[in-house]
Each structure stands twice: as C-alpha cells, then as structure tokens.
Amino acid sequence: MYLEIKDLKKSYGEGGSYIQVLKGVTTGVEQGQMCVIEGTSGSGKSTLLNCIGGLDLPDSGSIVVDGQEIVGLKPEKLSDYRRERLGFIFQFYNLIPNLTVRENVQVCEYLSEHPMDMDELLETLGLTEHQNKFPSQLSGGQQQRCAIARALIKNPKLLLCDEPTGALDSKTSRDILALLEKVNEKYGTTMLIVTHNNSIKNMVHKVIRIKDGQISKEYVNETRIPAMELEDL
C-alpha cells in the first residue's frame, strides 16, 4: 500500500468552539491509483487532504506515505517531504502574475533534484504555445493547466488535488480531468482528488466517501468511465 492512514483524528478550537473534524479515519491507496475523496461541505475531506499533505497537523493517528511516517515529523523534515514527494493543485491557481507560464513552472522546477523534462511536460499539457504568456493572458482552463504543470514539474509520486475543477465550467472541467487521467497513465502518478462533484468518482480507480469526519463508504471502481465521457460536470 503506497498510502496508509490509520485512526486519524483532527480537531480545531477549544472550549465552546471545539470541533472534531476527523474522527478516526482509516484507509489506504495503492501506488498509481487515482482516488476521489468525496463528501458534503464540512465533512472533513479537505482536512484529510491537508493532513496527508503536511499542511495540517493531526491530533493523533498515522499517515505512512511510501513507507515514511509523516505524523510527528519535525518542521524541516515535513518541508522536505512536501518538496520531494508531493505536488499540490488547488481550486484557485495561485500563479505569480508577473511571471510567464514557463517561469511559473520553473519556480517549482528548481525545488527538485530530478525534475521532469520541461518541454515534454508543457507539450503533454498543451501549454507549449502559451509558455511565454502571463496568467492574465490565459483562460481559466489554461491557468489550471499551468498550475498542474507547476505541481508536476517536481516529478512527485503523489499529487493532491483540492477541487481542481471547482472554478471551471463543465467543458473545461472535462478537459482538465482528461488531462489528469493522461498524466496518471503516462507517469503513474498517484492522485487524490477532493471534490463535491458526484460525477468524477466514475473515472477513478477508488472512491472514499467521508461523512461527519468518518469514512461512510469506500470501494474500488470496477467500471471506470473515461473523463471525456463523464456527464453532469
């Protein structure tokens, strides 16, 4: 198992404002799988993703990624983990406005000792002809492609996606999902996709459903549908 989570708990606040968001989550994902984490707003899905990404510190439990326990790591070791193993894609692109597409991607290229080939990646993501444009000259879908390229250039083994199509229309969402599908097939990147969109679960290998801070259902998808055939995005 590439990612193993055991009895993970996370809470915020204290006294009257105390709330337990994760209430003992146990699950796992195999290497190379695309996995959806779905649930309603406030169910704990983004908190789970942030704990796996080392952005939130759990109260207790275990998160093992490729054999490394990350719960309890010191800040510098946690920083190394994020830099060396992870790529992040968010709903909001967070591109640097005064840098071109290529320069935005290079910012993360310099963080890796073994980055992907820049030109090959831009070609794979359909960005070659846009590489010298600034974010303000791009559509929302092109900006998200740039954000994906920035996450992937480090050659991460694990890609964490928090509502990657949340700000996009249905056609562009389908294009972005097809792109993630292509990346998964080409590079074998393990992906966790947090979403409230009920259709995305049909294209992935595994589905984890969270309700009120606990896993209510999880299953392996035996009848995957290609991203370009998804409906109701």
pLDDT tens readout for residues 83-142: 889 999 887 888 999 999 999 999 999 888 889 999 999 998 899 999 999 999 999 889
pLDDT tens readout for residues 40-75: 888 999 999 999 999 999 999 999 999 999 999 999
Residue 153 belongs to domain with CATH number: 3.40.50.300
3 state SS of 117: coil
Q: HSE (CB half, 13 Å, CA atoms) of 200?
A: 31
Work out the percent of the chain whose per-residue pLDDT is above 90. Answer: 73
Q: What is the pTM of this model?
A: 0.90
Is the model's pLDDT at 193 over the cut of 90? Answer: yes
Residue 96 lies in domain? 3-229
Is the model's pLDDT at 76 over the cut of 90? Answer: yes
pLDDT value of residue 11? 95
Q: Which residues contact 13 (CB under 8 A, 6 or more apart)?
A: 19
pLDDT value of residue 170? 87
pLDDT tens readout for residues 217-233: 999 999 999 999 988 76
pLDDT value of residue 94? 86
pLDDT value of residue 168? 80
pLDDT value of residue 44? 94
The closest alpha carbon to 154, from 102, 124, 118, belongs to: 118
pLDDT value of residue 36? 96
Residues 152, 111: contact at Cβ < 8 Å?
Answer: no
The domain tally of the chain equals 1
Mean residue pLDDT of the chain comes to 92
Q: Where are the alpha helices (DSSP H) in the chain?
A: 45-52, 75-85, 101-109, 118-124, 140-152, 170-187
